Structure 1
Amino acid sequence: MASASLKAPPLPFLRAIAWLRDGMYALHRRMVPGHIALLELATAGYLSQATCAAAELGIADALAEGPRQPADLAAAVGANEDALRRLMRLLISAGVFAQRRDGAYELTGMSQALCSDAPVTLRDLLLFFGADLHRKHWTHLSGSVRSGGSLWPELEGMEFFEFADKHPEAGEIFDRAMTSVSSLSNEPLQAAFDFGRFGSIVDVGGGRGSLLVDILQRHPSMRGTVFDLPRVREGLEEELRMPGLTGRLTFEPGSFFDSVPKGADAYLLKHILHDWSDEDAERILRTIRAAMESEARLLIIEMVMPQHHRPHPGKIIDLEMLIQTPGGRERTQTEFGNLLSRSGFVLTGVTATAAPDCVIEAHPAW
């Protein structure tokens, strides 16, 4: 798994761009008639699904070696030429792809992230978002709002994580999607936070270990362990055999509700706590606390929910957690502080990054 080579712009610059973008978005919504603005929102889902279809068809991969004429592209991805033209017409209008004067289609900066081998690829994430199972549950959002929780038990007979464990194909799509989204924040996290001050790290619930592998590649004296369910190991085989990581990167199977490896300098929880209710999150944190030495540190990587009313990715993912998980949610800094305090920790700092993720650092309460 190669480390992403894309460098994150400075955080102040990104904040200024976000402020300008949000202001323009708000101005647009105020300038057009209400019913037009609402219609734009209502049809945004069509564009989203069209982009997911492009990921499923492998259009970006087919264009990775250069522009292609419509007939050639249709043959390459196994599509009807007329239907493909209609799909591309919509995606081109949104800047996902481009069309040259000679009629050939080509990649844009946006669609480069749909390529399977891009430094930061979102193809697997879009395959997950566009899958029948995922869309099905989003159609029941109103039901989750009424009930206050996920409808997975009612719709599938079990919670999502149990379903993913019993249905390997769904679990594989989910695991690859999480690795995909994880790659988005690796470079910004490395730029903002000094992971090199630790000699050893346990990545709790680390999946395919995207961030941990990146950290170990940058710090040759460090050791790391991915701790996750046994089925995850198969997806880590390539990383475990990587030159320079053999013997430094290990895998230990288990459940973070029962126990985690002892004695590490730091324990990493990336995109884990937001999957769980406060009660279950406390159980996870107390399990980690029991394994930690007094000088060890806990590093929680999550989005921290803002208090403002401007757009923020956390406000979307918070609903994803409502729909898909047994009590999961995005949390504010105050909510993280209270959760940590109840679990035997002291919150010592929150480091913002150029990505939506933050690093929430805590130490055991003495």
Structure 2
Amino acid sequence: MTNTHPGPADVPPSVRMYEMLYSSLVSQVLIAVADIGVADAFDDGPSHVDDLAERLGCHTESLYRALRALASVGVFSEVAPRTFTLTPLARTLRGDGPDSMRDLARYLGRPERQLSFGAMAHTLRTGRPAFDHVNGTDLWSLLGARSDLGTLFDRAMGNMARMVNSSTLAAHDLSGARRLVDVGGGHGHLVATLLTRYPELTAVVFDLPRVIPEAVAVLGAAGVLDRVECVAGDFFTSVPEGGDTYLLSWTIHDWDDEDSVRILRNVRAAMGDTGRELILIDDVLPEGDAPHFGKFEDIVILTLLTGRSRTEAEFAKLLSAAGFRHVETRPTSAPTSLLIAHPV
């Protein structure tokens, strides 16, 4: 039988829009299988859906239909009738892998977050986060009040930190640095990677008090805890002094211009006369219609928070207002870029 489905160039706009409207279903199925732990239920080789369903306590036919759908986009592969194997994409949904995205997927599926996107029209009408509107409080307050949600969020950010590690290492040479201060460093995954790469480097992981115990555990497991100081605090108040290199990874985009400058000024104050370099890891948006993942990351921020993704010129303006000079921007293999700035 001849396939009569038109090619991409021939798809009418209404059909293309139909496909775009349904594209979120990929994310929803990924979230569901991550939450259940489907990828972790696989042995080393292929598994029949009947065996998977028994291990997971799932309805067999429903699980099959979900795996069949994900296999059509390269997540899992149906290697024989009703028998699937893990693909490289599916392996990132395992909880035990070095490039695991499972905690991120589970966090993205939380109802507090999902409901916010269902109410995005509120944000478009008012300019205020839909998250606050549907949850009765802002994201940061809820994370602080709910230990279960806060812990999952921190682990999801750890997934994201590991994703940018290799890109960061490839994009910038830190061999001249002696003491790195990771401001908002989370569980310390990025610092652990950098200390492994640079044996002469020492570091400070600085974040909220609730984050520090897990950071100590992560850095201890990486075997670098003897070269790290884990410090609890609030970057709106102050930042640890004594570093020659300061790092802010996926942090500035969470905040509006006023708060961003406040954070950056506290970093500048901590650097004093001896700090030499600030590194920002963040989305840097191209101008015009050019596609970039950060333009949709910006919609996430718009819906959940008060910050924004920014262009290079907008970052340079923030840095200048805080006492820095933007030196260069370096793309990475991740969706983020490195912005290098020097104190003035």
**Same fold, TM-score > 0.5, yes or no:** yes
Structure 1 residue 241 displacement after superposition: 2.4
Structure 2 residue 110 is the aligned partner of structure 1 residue 131: yes
Residue number in structure 2 paired with 1:11: none
Structure 1 residue 101 displacement after superposition: 2.3
Map 1:1-366 → 2, pairs under 5 A: 30-101=9-80, 103-242=82-221, 244-296=223-275, 297-325=277-305, 327-365=306-344
Task: For residues 208-266 of structure 1, give each alpha carbon's deviation from its aligned partner in whole angstroms, at most 9, with x where no partner exists.
Answer: 11111100011111111110110001212323424641320120010000011111011
Instruction: Give the 3-state SS of the residue equivalent to 1:359 in structure 2.
Output: strand
Cα distance between partner residues in 1 of 2:23 and 2:81:
30
- The 8 Å contact of residues 28 and 109 in structure 2, kept in 1 or not, is answered as yes
Instruction: Give the 3-state SS of the residue equivalent to 1:230 in structure 2.
Output: coil
Cα distance between partner residues in 1 of 2:273 and 2:328:
17
- The 8 Å contact of residues 112 and 135 in structure 2, kept in 1 or not, is answered as no
- The 8 Å contact of residues 240 and 250 in structure 1, kept in 2 or not, is answered as no
**Mean Cα displacement is larger for which, 333-342 or 238-247?**
238-247
- The 8 Å contact of residues 295 and 363 in structure 1, kept in 2 or not, is answered as no
Aligned partner letter, 1:223? T
**Mean Cα displacement is larger for which, 121-130 or 152-161?**
152-161
* Structure 2: gaps of 5 or more residues: 1-5
Structure 1 residue 144 displacement after superposition: 0.7
Cα distance between partner residues in 1 of 2:296 and 2:71:
25
Aligned partner letter, 2:86? L
Structure 1 residue 119 displacement after superposition: 2.1
State the number of aligned residues. 338
RMSD (Å) for aligned C-alpha atoms: 1.6
Once the two structures are aligned, what percentage of the paired residues are identical? 36
TM-score, normalised with respect to structure 1:
0.89
Cα distance between partner residues in 2 of 1:29 and 1:136:
32
- The 8 Å contact of residues 239 and 245 in structure 1, kept in 2 or not, is answered as no
* Structure 1: gaps of 5 or more residues: 1-26
Residue number in structure 2 paired with 1:17: none
- The 8 Å contact of residues 132 and 304 in structure 2, kept in 1 or not, is answered as no
Structure 1 residue 30 displacement after superposition: 4.4
Structure 1 residue 146 displacement after superposition: 1.2
Instruction: Give the 3-state SS of the residue equivalent to 1:105 in structure 2.
Output: strand
Cα distance between partner residues in 1 of 2:121 and 2:146:
26
Cα distance between partner residues in 2 of 1:159 and 1:124:
21
- The 8 Å contact of residues 303 and 356 in structure 1, kept in 2 or not, is answered as yes
Instruction: Give the 3-state SS of the residue equivalent to 2:22 in structure 1.
Output: helix
Structure 1 residue 293 displacement after superposition: 2.8
Task: For residues 12-53 of structure 1, give each alpha carbon's deviation from its aligned partner in whole angstroms, at most 9, with x where no partner exists.
Answer: xxxxxxxxxxxxxxx966420111101101111112101111
Cα distance between partner residues in 2 of 1:123 and 1:163:
22
Alpha-carbon distance change, 35 to 119 in structure 1, aligned in 2, over 3 angstroms: same
Instruction: Give the 3-state SS of the residue equivalent to 1:100 in structure 2.
Output: strand
Aligned partner letter, 2:192? V
Aligned partner letter, 1:65? D
TM-score, normalised with respect to structure 2:
0.94
Instruction: Give the 3-state SS of the residue equivalent to 2:140 in structure 1.
Output: helix
The higher relative CO (CA closer than 8 Å, separation ≥ 6) is in 1
Structure 1 residue 57 displacement after superposition: 1.3
